Amino acid sequence: MDAQSARAPMKNSGTLKVTTPSDREVAMTRVFDAPRHLVFQAWTEPELLKRWLWGPDDWRLAVCKMNLKPGGGLRFVWSHRDGKDMGMSGVFREIAPPDRLVFTEIWDEDWTDGETLVTILFSEHAGKTTLTQTVLYSSRQARDAALRTGMEHGAAVSYDRLAELLKS
Amino acid sequence: MMETLQALAEPHRFQIVELLRDGPRRVGDMVHRLGLRQPQVSKHLRVLSNAGLVDVRVDAQRRIYALRPAPFEELEVWIERYRRIGEGNFQRLDGVLQELKAKEEKRGRTKR
């Protein structure tokens, strides 16, 4: 092995990990360098959510309303600079600061084939928080379709860069 | 890395690399599987070898080609950087949290 092949790919504790705990679920895990009550706060205050929860390609979170109690509603609308909107509504099932947050979600243009159930767990260790966000889809087909879209988007971004690089 | 991408960009060379993913192969075997003529395959293998993508060894008069891991590892490191673009939301959340933490520490200090 030469020096180049001995260099291992970068692994970063802050990197997003995606797993499929069951055939209807997708779970994302990410570590944040902050205690969990702050991560919980950043997830439950609309003005804070608007600052980070964007869609791909600069879809900004423009409307963020949440009635933070069991049975309370939530309404998120993302806006693109070309004027298009993308909305999602849901209902809170469980609010247990700073441990967990459970709510349902459904997109206005129902591309997940029905409602999904989102469970966010916040666990703290040595001042750092591990956030686990699990989305339960209505069926395996719906889950697989969502995974494909996500991956295709990721791949599309990479391929765009590759194409640009090859042009130069 | 540009050399790797350029070598892979030719469809037949890409096919050769895909064939070699399963393990080392003889030139004759690749000629058979690709449906190309031997000089063509040899030319592509020379390009792949010059770009550092394959190694060749001679065994009983036969030339056996195998992939070299280094250029693929280099590509992986490069792609990893782009994968993080999808992580934009959480990187923004990192920023928000640093700010909340700083505010809280400040509040804690003024209370005391």
pLDDT for residue A1 = 38
- The C-alpha of A137 sits at a distance from chain B's nearest C-alpha, in angstroms, of 21
Read off the pLDDT of each residue in A113-133 and give the average, rounded to a whole number.
Answer: 94
- CA A156 to mean position of chain CA atoms: 18
Among A38-42, A121-125, B4-8, B86-90, which stretch is predicted with the lowest mean pLDDT? B86-90
CB atoms B84 and A166 under 8 Å: no
* Total tally of structural domains belonging to chain B: 2
Round to whole Å and give the CA distance between A107 and A75. Answer: 10
Which domain does B20 fall in, by range?
Answer: 2-67
CB atoms A32 and B82 under 8 Å: no
CA angle B20, A2, A158 (to 5 degrees): 60
The confidence band for A152, taking pLDDT boundaries of 50, 70 and 90, is low
The answer to whether residues B41 and B75 belong to one domain is no
Q: Strands of B25-26's sheet, edge to edge?
A: B25-26, B62-67, B54-59
Which is more confident, A89 or A2? A89
The confidence band for A129, taking pLDDT boundaries of 50, 70 and 90, is very high
The answer to whether residues B7 and B28 belong to one domain is yes
The answer to whether residues B46 and B79 belong to one domain is no
Which residues lie across from A66 on neighbouring strands?
Answer: A74
The confidence band for B89, taking pLDDT boundaries of 50, 70 and 90, is confident
The answer to whether residues B10 and B57 belong to one domain is yes
Query: In the predicted model, is pLDDT for residue B40 greater than 90?
Result: yes
Of A4, A150, A166, the CB nearest to B5: A166
The answer to whether the CB of B48 falls within 8 A of the CB of B66 is no
Structure tokens at A133: 């966000």
The answer to whether residues B62 and B79 belong to one domain is no
CB atoms A34 and B87 under 8 Å: no
The answer to whether residues B22 and B55 belong to one domain is yes
- The C-alpha of B97 sits at a distance from chain A's nearest C-alpha, in angstroms, of 6
Which amino acid would we find at residue B78?
W
The answer to whether residues B82 and B42 belong to one domain is no
Report the chain A residue with the minimal C-alpha distance to residue B100.
Answer: A38
What residues contact residue A21 under an 8 Å CB cut-off, 6+ apart? A27, A134
Structure tokens at A24: 């209807």
User: What is the CB-side half-sphere exposure of residue B41 using CA atoms within 13 A?
Assistant: 21
Query: In the predicted model, is pLDDT for residue A50 greater than 70?
Result: yes
pLDDT for residue B112 = 55
pLDDT for residue A11 = 36
The answer to whether residues B12 and B50 belong to one domain is yes
Query: In the predicted model, is pLDDT for residue B31 greater than 90?
Result: yes
pLDDT for residue B48 = 97
Round to whole Å and give the CA distance between B75 and B1. Answer: 7
pLDDT for residue B80 = 63
Name the DSSP class of A8. Answer: P
What tens digit of pLDDT does each residue of A93-120 get?
Answer: 999 999 999 999 999 988 888 999 999 9
Of B87, B97, B98, the CB nearest to A16: B87
The answer to whether residues B54 and B13 belong to one domain is yes
The answer to whether residues B8 and B62 belong to one domain is yes
The answer to whether residues B39 and B83 belong to one domain is no
CB atoms B82 and A158 under 8 Å: yes
Structure tokens at A36: 């969990």
Chain A residues closer than 8 Å to B88 by CB: 54, 56
Query: In the predicted model, is pLDDT for residue A5 greater than 50?
Result: no
Beta strands in chain B (DSSP E): 25-26, 54-59, 62-67
The answer to whether residues B78 and B56 belong to one domain is no
Query: In the predicted model, is pLDDT for residue A13 greater than 70?
Result: no
The answer to whether the CB of A126 falls within 8 A of the CB of A96 is no
pLDDT for residue A10 = 34
Query: In the predicted model, is pLDDT for residue B57 greater than 70?
Result: yes
Name the DSSP class of B22. Answer: T
Provide ipTM, 2 decimals. 0.73
What residues contact residue A9 under an 8 Å CB cut-off, 6+ apart? B73, B76, B77, B80
Task: Place domain A18-167 in its CATH homologous superfamily.
Answer: START domain (3.30.530.20)
